[in-house]
């Protein structure tokens, strides 16, 4: 039996509809299950027959929640992932591993970094957005609740760039080396290359690198107009060439602090009023 686990809230609440379409388009004989209704994921996998397969359908948020519920589990059955979200940064980052539209998810659920923020501990697959990206996600969440219109994250980011976002002072420590930056737009820690629906924040980051390091990307520039003009370079990862605008550090122990609270996102999930976060690899 093939089980298709689907998050109905994915892709702006079109998750179940998208899963049914995928099942029909690919002529796959499978049982469609609501992921939200499975209260014990490890128990679900324990109860599978040896010949069963599982396919997870959802976006980056679905992946993050699934990962944190199942992390550390030794899978006996095949587990695949198909994209069904508004951002799909994990899928975008790992397209070279796609076979028949699916990614074997099991290798990606090991050796994930752990973030500690506001008393919360969580693993992440893609990255931490702190600053402009976190604020963009926070405003987007508000719009999603208060309006029926699709959330335009690019429009939100531009408005924040033009004056809605207050520049921060950041203290960034990576493997014991501390640097302080003024006029900070974002200070992100990346396991993959992408977040924000296609922003290649850390173009040189390899999630399977031998030393297991993450990339810490700090973007800073007082001039808002220059930042606005340069911001599209993040789409192709070309921003890292501008050394007066960005710094990239790699390490296994990271602490980032702002001089005042700001929103933070973990694979798209927002945590508000954050002044500091830490990331550890290999724990």
Q: Residue 60 — very low, low, confident or very high, per pLDDT cuts 50/70/90?
A: very high
* Res. 127: pLDDT tops 90: yes
Residue at a domain's end among 109, 134, 163: 109
Same domain, 124 and 246: yes
Residue 261 is predicted with a pLDDT of 97
Q: Per-residue DSSP letters for 30-90?
A: -EEEEGGG-S-HHHHHHT--TT-EEEEEE-HHHHHHHHHHHTT----S-EEEEE-SSS-HH
Residue 43 is predicted with a pLDDT of 97
Stretch 207-236: mean pLDDT:
94
Same domain, 122 and 223: yes
CA angle 205, 210, 216 (to 5 degrees): 35
Is 120 in a helix, a strand, or coil? strand
The pLDDT tens digits of the residues spanning 32-48 come to 999 999 999 999 999 99
Domain of residue 236, residue span: 114-280
User: What's the chain's length in residues?
Assistant: 283
Same domain, 125 and 234: yes
Our count of domains for the chain comes to 2
Q: Give the CATH number of the domain where residue 136 resides.
A: 2.60.200.40
Same domain, 125 and 261: yes
Residue at a domain's end among 85, 109, 133: 109
Same domain, 118 and 254: yes
The structure tokens listed for 113 are 């970094």
Same domain, 36 and 150: no
User: For the chain, what is the mean pLDDT?
Assistant: 94
* Res. 148: pLDDT tops 80: no
d(C-alpha 274, C-alpha 131), whole Å: 10
Same domain, 96 and 200: no
Same domain, 155 and 122: yes
* Res. 85: pLDDT tops 80: no
Same domain, 97 and 176: no
Is 157 in a helix, a strand, or coil? helix
The structure tokens listed for 108 are 């990606």
Same domain, 247 and 123: yes
CA angle 224, 184, 208 (to 5 degrees): 120
Q: Residue 155 — very low, low, confident or very high, per pLDDT cuts 50/70/90?
A: confident
Residue 87 is predicted with a pLDDT of 79
Q: Give the CATH number of the domain where residue 69 resides.
A: 3.40.50.10330
Q: Residue 150 — very low, low, confident or very high, per pLDDT cuts 50/70/90?
A: confident
Residue at a domain's end among 78, 94, 109: 109
Range with the lowest mean pLDDT among 8-12, 37-41, 96-100, 198-202? 8-12
The structure tokens listed for 85 are 């979200």
Please report which residue ranges of the chain form alpha helices under DSSP H.
10-13, 15-25, 41-46, 60-70, 89-93, 132-146, 153-159, 224-230
Residue 141 is predicted with a pLDDT of 87
Same domain, 215 and 135: yes
Residues in Cβ contact with 159 at an 8 Å cutoff, skipping those fewer than 6 apart: none
Backbone angles phi, psi at 166, to 5 degrees: -90, 125
CB 152 within 8 A of CB 144: no
Same domain, 233 and 133: yes
d(C-alpha 157, C-alpha 210), whole Å: 35
Q: CA nearest 217: which of 254, 172, 184, 247?
A: 247
């Amino acid at each position: 039996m093939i089980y298709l686990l689907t998050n109905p809230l994915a892709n702006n609440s079109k998750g179940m509809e998208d899963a049914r379409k995928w099942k029909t388009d690919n002529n796959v004989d499978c049982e469609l299950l609501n992921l939200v209704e499975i209260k014990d994921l490890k128990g679900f996998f324990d109860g599978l027959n040896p010949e069963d397969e599982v396919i997870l359908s959802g976006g980056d948020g679905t992946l993050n929640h699934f990962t944190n519920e199942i992390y550390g589990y030794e899978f006996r059955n095949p587990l695949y992932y198909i994209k069904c979200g508004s951002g799909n940064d994990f899928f975008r980052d790992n397209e070279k591993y796609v076979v028949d539209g699916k990614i074997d998810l099991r290798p990606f659920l090991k050796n994930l970094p752990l973030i500690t923020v506001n008393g919360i501990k969580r693993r992440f697959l893609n990255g931490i957005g702190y600053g402009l990206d976190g604020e963009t996600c926070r405003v987007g969440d508000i719009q999603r609740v208060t309006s029926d219109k699709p959330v335009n994250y690019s429009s939100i980011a531009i408005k924040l760039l033009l004056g809605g976002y207050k520049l921060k002072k950041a203290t960034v420590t990576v493997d014991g080396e501390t640097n302080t930056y003024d006029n900070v737009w974002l200070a992100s820690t990346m396991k993959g290359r992408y977040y924000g629906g296609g922003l290649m924040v850390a173009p040189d980051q390899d999630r399977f690198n031998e030393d297991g390091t993450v990339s810490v990307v700090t973007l800073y520039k007082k001039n808002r107009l220059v930042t606005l003009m340069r911001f599209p370079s993040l789409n192709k990862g070309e921003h890292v060439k501008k050394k007066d605008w960005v710094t990239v550090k790699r390490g296994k122990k990271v602490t980032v602090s702002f001089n005042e609270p700001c929103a933070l996102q973990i694979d798209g999930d927002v945590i508000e009023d954050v002044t500091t976060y830490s990331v550890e690899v290999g724990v």
